[in-house]
């Protein structure tokens, strides 16, 4: 029998299917099951108006078969079937605009990542050729007496012959390829793999997907033991098992899904042992229709802050998974969100332009961004413990996102931040800080340190606390960068109490400090020279009350930033980021008087005292001493 040729463009796609080392070959099953489901939809729809169909809703199903021995996988449905013309038109050609366009794009770019588009939106029936070297379709259309067999071994073409088949519907039989080095097809050839693929991609197809399973059963053997009890024996029998769960949880009304069930669903799907802190349901109607079920985890996966973490939500179209991780539907700042977006507008088929999808996904992403933010704000307000758990896991993600892309997302995220309050002794949002500010307070005071204890004991904090002002103790690695990016909150500037002007007259007025600065010019210069290159200048402070010294900085780089960059051991540029260190001295402190008198009478001693004061400033700032041995020797000398 003469072989019929595929249309040229179909040949092209077939070629691709057969010869590309495709990243997700297992989607062939999803495609065939989706087609079977569509065919059943059609016949079921007919049966509503046409009694002659003679089928009940419960009669419809998709049956899978697998035989490792014969290297066969089959997908059978009792749907509408295909006539000879249907076979010619539907399977002989894929002259659909999308496939043509796809072919064109491939020609242009030749980029393997384009192949992923196939995985995302499907190529339907032809994907069978990714795993099969021969595909047989036996089908009988509703209303027809004749069945047909369509057979093809790939690009060479296909044959159609009359055939015998009992009921209406379609059987697709795949002869699975032999294993080659880079692709092991045998792994599909067992019930477990087939079951897993169905669960993964087609769990929510609304018709039962069944498979014959062999099950052991204990039965009486007809013989009896000495006590007269029947002896049992094991018999194996075949039962038809339904593999898919059919109704997706996110398609069910919200009030019909209890928290426990939805938490279980989350944990199974995302391999988490902890419940999510919040679950968001979205039911969007209008121009773009979709349902979403989103989860906010309470802990970060171990690889979350590494390149290995794959963000994204699962896309479904009418219960069929079309993409496992879609990054485009959720903004990157919320990459910790897990969940599903299901829209009848997502197509399984690449024949719809991908550009169209791009626009849809963007719209969804914008919507979900708002939903997630509102849910987080609600948590913060109504379930502070849950929010703190979330914040403990993902505050760094929020902070990195604020600093990313020139602060593009800072307005979105700023109200989700929390910092430790010097007065409340707990984390508070900036909004709360601002609402409690006394009227005369004009700045938001903060300090970046390694620990709360260190912040508590900072000499510079004393005056601010004495004024009754709250200070935010920021102990996060990149908090300094975050504040720099924010610059202000709701019209109030941030003030770093270690480096910035406090905005109010301190223990000493600035003029007084400047006067003393002038008077002690030579001494200050001497201190600087004694300490050496580490210091860029030495000043008289107007901020200190009881402490003799502290370390501050001039310019943009703070000590916290220097610390952060110094951790990047392999980055020479980062290693060169140095703060310009300034030593501030308290002119009212007895230590200063001692320094001054030594300077007048004993320069060597004055030099030693200078070094000690600098070392103390380093210790207060939580920095390592340049030379701890020298420091202890100097202290001992004082005894």
Enumerate binding residues for ligand ADP (CB under 6 A): 31, 35-36, 39, 77, 79-82, 90-91, 124-126, 170, 349
Q: Which is nearer to ligand ADP, 170 or 279 (CB)?
A: 170
CA dist list (Å): 497 to 426, 448, 453, 500, 517: 19, 9, 16, 6, 20
**Nearer to ligand ADP among residue 349 and residue 389 (C-beta):** 349
Report in angstroms how near the CB of residue 199 gets to ligand ADP at its nearest.
21
> How near is the Cβ of 79 to ligand ADP at its closest, in Å?
5
Q: Which is nearer to ligand ADP, 145 or 256 (CB)?
A: 145
Buried b (16+ CB within 10 A) or exposed e, 381-399: eeeeebbbbbbebbbbbbb
- Which C-beta is closer to ligand ADP: that of 122 or that of 331? 122
Cα 476 to chain centroid, rounded: 21
Alpha-carbon gap, residue 133 to 131, rounded angstroms: 7
Token pair 């996060």: residue: 476
360 touches 288 (CB < 8 A): yes
Residues 272, 393: Cα–Cα separation, whole Å: 14
Distance CA(626)–CA(612), nearest Å, equals 12
Taking the least distance from each CB to ligand ADP, the nearer of 344 and 532 is: 344
Q: Least Å distance between CB 396 and ligand ADP?
A: 43
Torsion, CA 478, CA 482, CA 485, CA 491, rounded to 10: -160
**CA dist 500 to 339, 418, 441, 445, 603, Å?**
44, 22, 15, 10, 33
Q: How far is the CB of 115 from ligand ADP (least distance, A)?
A: 17
Q: Give the nearest distance from C-beta 211 to ligand ADP in angstroms.
A: 17
Other C-beta atoms closer than 10 Å to the C-beta of 25 total: 18
Outline where 50-159 has alpha helix (H): 84-86, 97-109, 115-121
How many whole angstroms separate alpha carbon 399 and alpha carbon 418? Answer: 10
Tokens of 525: 């210069």
Indicate the residue among 35 and 120 with the shorter CB distance to ligand ADP: 35
Task: List the beta bridge partners of residue 139.
Answer: 148, 170
Q: Which is nearer to ligand ADP, 35 or 244 (CB)?
A: 35
Separation between Cα atoms, residue 147 and residue 83, nearest integer Å: 8
* Alpha carbons 594 and 294: distance in angstroms, whole number: 65
CB of 435 to ligand ADP, least distance (A): 57
Nearer to ligand ADP, 43 or 330 (CB): 43
Least distance to ligand ADP, CB of residue 92, Å: 10
> Looking at beta carbons only, is 170 or 317 nearer to ligand ADP?
170
∠ CA(628), CA(634), CA(639), 5° rounding? 130
**CB 292, min distance to ligand ADP, A:** 24
Cβ proximity to ligand ADP, 91 vs 106, nearer residue: 91
Q: Indicate the SS3 state at residue 576.
A: coil
Residue placing its CB nearer to ligand ADP in the complex, 96 or 373 = 96
Strand intervals (E) in 298-403 = 313-317, 320-326, 338-342
Report in angstroms how near the CB of residue 154 gets to ligand ADP at its nearest.
15
**461 Cβ neighbours under 8 A, 6+ residues apart:** 422, 447, 455, 471, 497
Q: CB nearest ligand ADP: which residue?
A: 124
DSSP 3-state of 552? strand
Q: What is the DSSP letter of 29?
A: H
Task: Report in angstroms the alpha-carbon separations of 51 from 43, 46, 54, 504.
Answer: 11, 9, 6, 89
For the bound state, the minimum distance from the C-beta of residue 53 to ligand ADP, rounded and expressed in Å, comes to 15
Output the smallest distance, CB 350 to ligand ADP, in A.
9
**DSSP code for 79:** S
Q: How far is the CB of 82 from ligand ADP (least distance, A)?
A: 5
Rounded-to-integer distance, Cα 280 and Cα 372, Å: 8
**Minimum distance, C-beta of residue 385 to ligand ADP, in the bound complex (Å):** 49
Q: Which residues pair with 585 in a beta bridge?
A: 540, 549
208 or 301: CB nearest ligand ADP: 208
d(CA 97, CA 82): 22
Query: Residue 502 and residue 509: Cα distance in Å, rounded?
Result: 12
**CA pair distance 463, 543, nearest whole angstrom:** 7
Distance separating the N- and C-terminal Cα atoms of the chain: 110
Query: How far apart are alpha carbons 550 and 539 in whole angstroms?
Result: 10
CA 464/CA 373 separation, integer angstroms:
33
C-beta closer to ligand ADP: residue 83 or 279: 83
Residue (36 or 66) nearer to ligand ADP, CB: 36
> Smallest distance from the beta carbon of 77 to ligand ADP, in angstroms?
5
For residue 331, the Cα-to-chain-centroid distance in whole angstroms is: 9
Minimum distance, C-beta of residue 317 to ligand ADP, in the bound complex (Å): 11
CB of 34 to ligand ADP, least distance (A): 7
Inter-residue contact 6 to 155 (CB < 8 Å): yes
């Amino acid at each position: 029998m003469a072989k019929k040729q595929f249309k040229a463009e179909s040949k092209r796609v077939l070629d691709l299917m057969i010869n590309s080392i495709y990243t997700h070959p297992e989607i062939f099953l999803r495609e065939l099951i989706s087609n079977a489901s569509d065919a059943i939809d059609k016949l079921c729809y007919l049966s509503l108006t046409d009694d002659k169909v003679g089928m009940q809703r419960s009669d419809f199903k998709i049956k899978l078969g697998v035989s490792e021995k014969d290297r066969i996988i089959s997908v059978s449905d009792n749907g509408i079937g295909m006539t000879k013309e249907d076979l010619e038109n539907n399977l002989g050609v894929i002259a659909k605009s999308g496939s043509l366009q796809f072919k064109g794009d491939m020609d242009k770019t030749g980029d393997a990542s384009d192949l992923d588009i196939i995985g995302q939106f499907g190529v339907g029936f032809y994907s069978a050729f990714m795993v099969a070297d021969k595909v047989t379709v036996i089908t009988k259309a509703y209303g027809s007496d004749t069945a047909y067999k369509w057979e093809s071994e790939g690009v060479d073409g296909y044959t159609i012959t009359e055939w015998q088949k009992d009921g209406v519907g379609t059987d697709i039989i795949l002869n699975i390829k032999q294993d080659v080095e880079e692709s092991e097809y045998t792994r599909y050839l067992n019930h477990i793999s087939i079951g897993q693929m169905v669960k993964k991609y087609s769990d929510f197809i609304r018709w039962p997907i069944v498979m014959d399973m062999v099950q052991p059963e204990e039965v009486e053997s007809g013989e009896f033991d000495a006590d007269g009890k029947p002896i049992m024996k094991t018999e194996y029998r075949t039962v038809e098992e339904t593999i898919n769960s059919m109704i997706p949880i996110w398609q069910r009304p919200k009030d019909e899904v209890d928290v426990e069930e939805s938490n279980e669903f989350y944990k199974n799907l995302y391999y988490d042992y902890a419940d999510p802190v919040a679950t968001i349901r979205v039911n969007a109607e209008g121009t773009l229709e979709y349902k979403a079920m989103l989860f906010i985890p309470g802990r970060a996966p171990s690889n979350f802050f590494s390149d290995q973490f794959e963000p994204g939500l699962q896309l479904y179209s009418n219960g069929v998974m079309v993409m496992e991780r879609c990054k485009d539907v959720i903004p990157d700042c919320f990459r910790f969100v897990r969940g599903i977006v299901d829209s009848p507008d997502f197509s399984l088929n690449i024949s719809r332009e991908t550009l169209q999808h791009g626009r849809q996904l963007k719209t969804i992403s914008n919507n979900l961004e708002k939903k997630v933010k509102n849910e987080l704000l609600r948590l913060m307000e109504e379930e502070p413990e849950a929010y703190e758990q979330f914040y403990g896991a993902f505050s760094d993600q929020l902070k990195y996102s604020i600093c990313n892309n020139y602060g593009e997302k800072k307005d979105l995220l700023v109200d989700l931040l929390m910092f430790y309050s010097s007065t409340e002794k707990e984390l508070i949002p900036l909004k709360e800080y601002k609402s409690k500010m006394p009227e005369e307070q004009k700045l938001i005071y903060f300090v970046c340190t390694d620990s709360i204890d260190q912040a508590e004991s900072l000499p510079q904090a004393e005056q601010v606390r004495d004024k009754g002002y709250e200070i935010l103790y920021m102990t996060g690695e990149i908090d300094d960068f975050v504040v720099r990016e924010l610059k202000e909150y709701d019209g109030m500037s941030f003030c770093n109490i270690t480096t910035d002007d406090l905005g109010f007259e301190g223990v000493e007025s600035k003029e007084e400090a400047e006067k003393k600065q002038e008077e002690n010019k030579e001494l200050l210069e001497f201190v600087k020279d004694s300490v050496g290159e580490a210091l860029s200048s030495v000043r008289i402070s107007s901020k200190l009350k009881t402490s003799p010294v502290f370390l501050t900085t001039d310019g943009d780089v703070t000590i916290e930033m220097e610390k952060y960059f110094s951790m990047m051991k392999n980055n020479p540029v980062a290693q060169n980021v140095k703060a310009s260190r300034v030593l501030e001295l308290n002119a009212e402190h007895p230590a200063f008087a001692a320094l001054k008198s030594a300077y007048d009478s004993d320069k060597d001693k004055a030099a030693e005292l200078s070094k000690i004061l600098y070392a103390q400033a380093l210790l207060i700032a939580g920095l390592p001493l340049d030379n701890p041995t020298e420091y202890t020797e100097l202290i001992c000398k004082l005894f």
